[in-house]
Structure 1
């Protein structure tokens, strides 16, 4: 057996014995799987496979054949730079721009860690964000795959004028996947911190609009970001949930059951001034706010007279978002609440966001909130 085929089967055991000449879609191989496989194959081959060549492949058999034909021809390009400084520290005083509903703003938190991730990424690649392009000159965008934060105390415990410190670091798996970890900790109170993790890859527009984003990777002279020998568990869990092979998720001290059942659904009309980013894509930081807006709309509509508004009753303790697609400015988003459970002063919800235009799943949103005292 070709060692390249063996590598593919080791990475994805469900492909053992399969006919690899079948199209990717028939084998259940998606763009995230291909990105993982590309890293392993390039390392085994000892050279990068150009984007021009990669986009021509329609089956794994073609990839194996190409690797066998190139075996031994290229230089080894991958290694771990132990001397690279992949992190930084910042300090903030929490004031009105960082606050919302008398607590730390989750929208600000997403934007801040996203910008910090992007800053570390560009520094490691030695490029300004606007200059990042693939080998064909296509503009590249950081595409978020997963963002998760876990707090020791709910966001409502953070107060105005409180000093906090944000520290972070970044690593990568090959040239196309970047993983970061940030910690926001209070300097005024012990054991009050938020640990955030995220995964991004790179995409280019494959045509008009935002619904056809194609995975790619930047063409840079040097990449100083530490290269991991294998994808971390955080990445592997994302893959299992996307594939439907994991049916529970631990979050905020609770176990969430992953289900497709629907308790309710709402349509959300995009607000371009708030929801879209500078390049016209639905901003990754808008996804949790859209989900929370629809969640509150549902529970406020079913509240008894005199009940505290939903937004004032609950504060985020942990959130995990898995991103799958984007949308156009003309699209409507369908929010679906799949489950909710209140237990011991905590609320766990599972939800999803989809495009109304074609039904494509855009994200899964998992949240645990604590009841405000």
Structure 2
């Protein structure tokens, strides 16, 4: 992806001196990292389209947002950073079309990889004002350029099968149970009124803590993959069903997130290793 009339690749880089907002007891806060990279993803889109305001689309029409479809983290060494470390983050838009955007973010500390992240989003708009279940995918015509850097994009699944099965967790899964939570608008929803993608990941972490207890605190994320299908309304409850595998040296699980009436919202597969 390059800016129109400019031969410079569309990239962004920054450095964070890590303090309490960036950290958790096991090192870098993954929840903070997702929020930061989500913001950077949005900023690169706005830069590509020459817009800084919230939402895209014609004036007078409901805004168009970039909703995350897939996210992945690999090569994770979140437990390898401490307070006052300098975290360097370099972000690049690797694909841009009228419907989809993919960005890649590499976070490093002292020349050591902390996380290699890829994020894919689609443009969406509510078809009924204030109704999150009415969100539909849309195109932004006549803007941007197409430059796939890592080959063709993977095909989007047509159904709601367990498409992440085997990517992280393996085949010997055991059902740990289902945790039902109610997302809080002050904590879990973003400025567009949508349950933020990082809140889905946070719900899985809460379920892990619920089912594994103190053992969960011994691990740090090595790999995480998520596929998002739908969003929820304010007041909806979230059911997190957790299927786990692995041995004492690793914590592997796949979570199926749905509404309590069974509508699949997201699938998140996680691999953690001991600190």
Give TM-score, length-normalised by structure 2: 0.88
Deviation at 1:247, TM superposition (A): 4.9
Q: How does 1:79-228 map to 2 (within 5 A)?
A: 83-133=7-57, 137-153=61-77, 155-187=78-110, 190-207=111-128, 208-219=130-141, 222-223=143-144, 226-228=145-147
CA RMSD between the two structures: 2.7
Could you list the per-position Cα deviations for residues 128-186 of structure 1 after superposition, in whole angstroms to 9, with x for gaps in the alignment?
24251159833111110011111252x12211111121001003352110000000000
For residues 156 and 97 of structure 1, do their structure 2 counterparts lie closer, same or farther at Cα, with a shift above 3 Å needed? same
Identify the residue that residue 264 of structure 1 maps to in structure 2.
177
| d(CA) in 2 for partners of 1:158, 1:170 | 26
Count of paired positions: 271
Query: Are the aligned partners of 2:165 and 2:254 in contact in 1 as well (CA < 8 Å)?
Result: no
For residues 136 and 236 of structure 1, do their structure 2 counterparts lie closer, same or farther at Cα, with a shift above 3 Å needed? farther
Query: Are the aligned partners of 2:106 and 2:113 in contact in 1 as well (CA < 8 Å)?
Result: no
Query: Equivalent of 1:248, from 157, 160, 166?
Result: 166
Q: Which has the larger radius of gyration?
A: 1
Compare relative contact order (CA 8 Å, sep 6+) and give the higher one, 1 or 2: 2
Query: Equivalent of 1:277, from 190, 194, 200?
Result: 190
Identify the residue that residue 306 of structure 1 maps to in structure 2.
none
Task: State whether structure 2 residue 228 is matched by structure 1 residue 323.
Answer: yes
* More strand as a share of residues: 2
Q: What SS does the aligned partner of 1:365 have?
A: strand
Give TM-score, length-normalised by structure 1: 0.66
Point out where structure 2 has 5 or more consecutive residues left out of the alignment: none
* More helix as a share of residues: 1
Query: Are the aligned partners of 2:160 and 2:264 in contact in 1 as well (CA < 8 Å)?
Result: no
| d(CA) in 2 for partners of 1:320, 1:371 | 19
Q: What SS does the aligned partner of 2:246 have?
A: strand
